[in-house]
Chains A and B, each alone.
Chain A
Amino acid sequence: MLHSAGVSTLLSVENLQTHFVTRGGVVRAVDDVSWDVEEGETVALVGESGCGKSVSALSIMRLVAGPAGRVVGGRVHFKGRDLLQLSEEEMRRVRGREIGMVFQEPMTSLNPVLSIGRQLTEGLEIHLGMTPGAARRRAVELLGMVGIPDSERRLTQYPHQFSGGMRQRMMIAMALACKPSLILADEPTTALDVTIQAQILELMKDLSRRFGVAMLIITHNLGVVARYADRVNVMYAGRIIERATARELYARPRHPYTLGLLRSVPRLDEPRRARLDPIEGQPPDLTRLPQGCAFTPRCAFSVARCSAEPPPLAPVADGGHVSACWESARLDRAAARSAAAS
């Protein structure tokens, strides 16, 4: 599991499968997915709404909402252990201690009736056995670190007295509190203003460098990925359909879906409405996935083989660039360049 010399794999998800049993059938939210994160690395998980990004992260944390939702297969290797095999108590000691999580909705993800200080110190007290006094001093330091001034006073305040951006900073402080080695950030900026989005992402990048924390950034915005991620996994209908380094993915996308995403990138420096060129059509119903490639109905490149046989995730270039598309060879440089130009 070594990718380059000296760097070892921190988290490795293998053949993960998470299903929801609903009245309409079994939703295959995460369908046999494998990816990994190296120590200190920032990996992105990109895809349209509903493709299974959040469920992937929640599966790793074993926080999928049961009893309807269940991880039905696969392994999640983290520091030499399979998280899916741990007891509930062992898993509790991983959550917040070794893996921190930042959620998408800063307005609802903090408890409205508990003070910022309380929510920030409880993890420290429980995981690190800090005294209330020590935890409080550390909390002041953490708030300062995520750029919340006047942190002493801020600790006594409540979430409703914080703006959206400050709440997200607070979430980041909470995720970082116990110095975890991995942070799962589920659309950490989607709910925020464009200017604040950039600030928050810069902050996360900066902190992850400073503390050597690995990060999984979940987003549906490839623009975010370009600036902040080392490697990118593109997800479609519960599967990874392409993976490459961020630079490679931008320059030479080898999957029609990625190409579509690149064309619809809203830029960080433009207002949010700028969904330029969304991919036509709807993602498939996850209860009735087609036999072949799930992207077929929306794909401009599709051929007869596509609807009959599912394309495997196969190497298409050096540096670990893989793509699940029968026609990936046709997506050559020219197509990529026209995408970048438009």
Chain B
Amino acid sequence: MWKYVLKRVLLMIPTLLGVAVLIFFLMRVVPGDIVELRFAGESAFAQKENLDKERARLGLDQPMWRQFVTWMWGIARFDFGTSMWTGAPIIEEIKLRAALSFQLAVMATIIAVVLAIPLGVVAALKQDTWVDYFVRVFSIAGLATPSFWLGIVFILMLLIVFKWLPPMVYTPFWVDPWQNMLQLIWPALAVGYRYSAVATRMTRSAMLEVLREDYIRTARAKGLWQKLILSRHALKNAMLPVLTVVALEFAFLMGGLVVTEQVFNLNGLGMLFVESVARRDYTLTQALVMLVALVFILVNFTVDLMYAWLDPRIRFR
């Protein structure tokens, strides 16, 4: 087991390296660079030497391989450099936003799981009754409703019914948990609903499948309580596919919430991502991509560990 963990951790290095190469060159293949974009705003006839001077300042005049090595060397020392656009250290640019996105993703996941597992299980147990239909409508509606739209509805409701708006400025959880929650619970609910719809459907179908298994019949023939059959014999097996869906969704939330962030005026990673690409802010985009890649890898790894924990057939391979 420990050997397996170590192997997986070491395997992360080549994966991340691959991502680094890819994003580094992809960014530079896209036409236009940050210098052109910045000067384009000031005057249409920027002096070529001004552009060159700016490029030299940012290190863009260097050969590609040297730029790459410099960047890699920085990462190896946990130095991600500065944003090409703002000049601020990238760590500073990302820190708060990553915390916000992470917290939002965690909250949405909790909401989704807390909703999805009971709903999915109940729907499977009461298959083809009104309970099941209700859950199915609830989850199909969740899939069909964009989170940002639900967000707008939330905000309007709060405004109209309570004459109140959630705080507009982000307060980190460790500074003031209450303020923090007041702001983030709404987007978490909006995002969590769609997320729970995906997870509910998966729970329901996995549960239906497991309940038809022979070992469930064995458990019933042993005279176990229904509750015990569900919690001990069925859920553990049914959770395997649900886990994958939840994990993928979580990783996606870390970088993919662009519109919802705008609706709630949140400064998360999603908006930053879009802006940094639009500005050809190479260093910032690269750092963001690396961060999201790392999240994906870690989430995947966690899922695999949880699989091994849940399923002895994997654990004792």
Contacts and interface: CB of A to CB of B under 8 A. Distances in A.
A95 B223 contact: yes
B221 A63 contact: yes
A288 B242 CA distance: 43
Contacts of B220: 63, 95
B310 to A, nearest CB: 6
B312 A158 contact: yes
B215 A158 contact: no
B223 A93 contact: yes
Interface in A108-148: 108-115, 122-123, 126-127
B221 A61 contact: yes
B214 A112 contact: no
Which of A94, A95, A161 has the most chain B CB atoms inside 10 A of its CB?
A95
B225 A126 contact: yes
B217 A103 contact: yes
A112 B217 contact: no
Tell me the interface secondary structure of chain B in the complex. helix
Interface residues of B, number: 22
Given A95-B223, A122-B222, A126-B225, A109 B217 contact: yes
Interface in B170-221: 213-215, 217-221
Given A108-B214, A109-B217, A114-B233, A96 B310 contact: no
A115 B312 contact: yes
A262 interface: no
Interface in B279-317: 310-313, 316
B237 interface: yes
B313 A92 contact: no
A111 B233 contact: yes
7 contacts: A63-B217, A112-B237, A113-B237, A123-B222, A126-B223, A126-B225, A160-B316
Given A92-B223, A109-B215, 17 more contacts: A63-B221, A96-B222, A97-B223, A103-B221, A108-B213, A108-B214, A111-B215, A111-B237, A112-B311, A113-B236, A114-B236, A122-B222, A122-B224, A123-B222, A126-B225, A127-B223, A171-B218
Interface of A: 61, 63, 92-97, 100-101, 103, 105, 108-115, 122-123, 126-127, 158, 160-161, 171, 174
